[in-house]
């Protein structure tokens, strides 16, 4: 791998969280050459590592090992040094519930420096007001009398454990939050997490008998556009959806995807400046759910009209016999023009496009199974 240019221009770092540790891939604004550094936390399962856009230097990483309990590490110097949270996310003593791993991290609203949210497996929502040093449960969700009905029991889990993910903060209103749960569905709070209600109308849940159920869905990834916060997209177990609030019913965009590829996948990425442009990475959700690139031919699909139609973007990607997929946090975009799009695969490759998905290059290979990629 070529050395990234050190002088001149903006530097960009990808935080690559894997099943065996954390790596960083560094480049500059041209995004032609990359330098890989790491690992940090070698041997830890790092489910997510994300930078705080509010200060530009705080990074949080959610980690555990196969035998040790889950924790959160914090850096205030862009990953040079790390400190463990004094009080990681944990359910209330006496609740009988145990956090298996922290899965998702979201920096809070711009008006609330130090506020972070964490989603766990099994489904729990936690909050920190000191930049990740100490965490406490969001009782409005964790202790909600309907929580078990919404989520099922902790044993009713998806293969890698039920997740609370996609914690979204409305940039116009710190009290307005969304969460996604696999399983459970999408839920909304208008009071900073004190109360929650399901927001799943119009979303299919083919795996349960109730037609158009109120909850029990399986969103894989939910995104809110920062410039148009009433626009949300959802990559779901049963398709691709969009909602424009205050609408209460999601529109099913799945039919616009080619039938031979389908509308199943894990990640979904939004263009930072255009709410109508987004990317997905389809996977095989047929029969026993192989969860690999359909036909062994990986491709990104992009829509530039809010999901009404999709274009295949596979130039540079393997043409055949490539059976990886991309997890829900393992695809992202940068804020440079033209937008760079990145994904990490289950077989440890990082792919980069510096032209909004038209062409792809492999940044690095041979890393462990990649769980998450974020731009710092």
- Applying CB under 8 A, the residues found at the interface with other proteins are 43, 65-69, 71, 84-86, 88, 90-99
The smaller minimum CB distance to other proteins, of residues 11 and 86, is found at 86
DSSP result, 41-69? STT-EEEEEEE-TTTSS-EEEEEE-SSSP
Cβ–Cβ under 8 Å, residues 346 and 333: no
Q: For residues 77 and 84, which CB has a smaller minimum distance to other proteins in the complex?
A: 84
Please identify, using beta-carbon distances, which residue of 95 and 111 lies nearer to other proteins: 95
Toward other proteins, which CB reaches closer, 13 or 71?
Answer: 71
Distance of CA 250 to the CA centre of its chain: 20
Q: Which is nearer to other proteins, 99 or 169 (CB)?
A: 99
CA atoms within 13 A of residue 185's CA, in its CB half-sphere: 26
Q: Retrieve residue 236's tokens.
A: 């779901």
CA 120 to chain centre: 13
Residue 256: strand, helix, or coil: helix
Q: Is 184 left (phi over 0), alpha (psi -120 to 50) or beta?
A: left
Q: Which two tokens stand for residue 124?
A: 């729990």
Q: Among residues 71 and 293, whose Cβ is nearest to other proteins?
A: 71
By C-beta, is 90 or 350 nearer to other proteins? 90
Distances (CA, A) of 337 to 310, 334, 375: 21, 9, 15
Beta carbon of residue 194, minimum distance to other proteins (angstroms, whole number): 22
What gap in Å lies between CA 71 and CA 132, rounded to an integer?
10
Residues 6+ apart with CB under 8 A from 246: 230
Cβ distance 271 to 306 under 8 Å?
no
**Residue 64 or 271: which CB sits closer to other proteins?**
64
Which long-range contacts does 288-293 make (Cβ < 8 Å, 24+ apart)? 291/325, 292/323, 292/324, 292/325, 293/322, 293/323, 293/324, 293/325
d(CA 80, CA 173): 33
Comparing CB distances to other proteins, the nearer of 103 and 233 is 103
User: Measuring CA to CA, which residue among 95, 85, 207, 74 is closest to residue 141?
Assistant: 95
Pick from 330, 296, 376: nearest CA to 53: 376
Beta bridge pairs of residue 224: 232
Residue 86 C-beta: closest distance to other proteins, Å: 6
Cβ proximity to other proteins, 139 vs 175, nearer residue? 139
Q: How far apart are CA 302 and CA 268, in angstroms?
A: 10
Distance CA 249, CA 80 (A): 45
């Amino acid at each position: 791998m070529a050395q990234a240019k050190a002088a001149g221009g903006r530097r960009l770092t990808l935080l690559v969280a894997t099943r065996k540790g954390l790596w960083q891939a560094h480049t500059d604004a041209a995004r032609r050459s990359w330098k890989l550094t790491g690992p940090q936390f070698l041997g830890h399962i790092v489910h997510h590592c994300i930078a705080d856009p509010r200060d530009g230097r705080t990074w949080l990483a959610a980690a555990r090992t196969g035998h040790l309990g889950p924790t959160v590490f914090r850096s205030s110097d862009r990953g040079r040094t790390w400190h463990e949270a004094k009080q990681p996310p944990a359910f209330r003593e006496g609740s009988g519930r145990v956090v298996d791993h922290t899965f998702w991290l979201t920096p809070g609203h711009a008006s609330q420096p130090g506020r972070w949210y964490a989603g766990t497996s099994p489904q729990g929502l936690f909050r920190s007001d000191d930049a990740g040093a100490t965490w406490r449960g969001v009782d409005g969700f964790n202790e909600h009398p309907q929580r078990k009905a919404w989520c099922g029991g902790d044993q009713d889990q998806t293969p890698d454990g039920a997740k609370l993910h996609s914690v979204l903060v409305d940039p116009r209103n710190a009290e307005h939050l969304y969460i996604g749960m696999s399983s459970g569905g999408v839920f909304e709070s208008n009071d900073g997490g004190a109360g929650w209600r399901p927001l799943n109308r119009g979303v299919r849940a083919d795996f349960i008998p109730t037609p158009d159920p109120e909850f029990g869905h399986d969103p894989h990834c939910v995104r809110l556009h920062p410039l148009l916060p009433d626009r949300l997209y959802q990559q779901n177990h049963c398709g691709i959806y969009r909602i424009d609030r205050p609408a209460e019913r999601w529109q099913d965009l799945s039919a616009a995807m080619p039938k031979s590829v389908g509308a199943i996948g894990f990640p979904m990425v939004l263009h930072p400046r255009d709410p109508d442009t987004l990317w997905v990475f389809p996977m095989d959700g047929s029969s026993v759910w192989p969860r690999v690139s359909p036909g062994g031919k990986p491709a990104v699909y992009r829509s530039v009209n809010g999901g009404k139609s999709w274009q295949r973007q596979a130039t540079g990607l393997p043409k055949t016999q490539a059976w990886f997929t991309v997890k829900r946090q393992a695809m992202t975009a940068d804020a440079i023009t033209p937008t760079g799009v990145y994904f990490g695969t289950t077989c440890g490759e990082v792919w980069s496009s510096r032209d909004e998905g038209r062409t792809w290059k492999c940044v690095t290979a041979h890393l462990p199974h990649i769980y998450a990629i974020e731009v710092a």
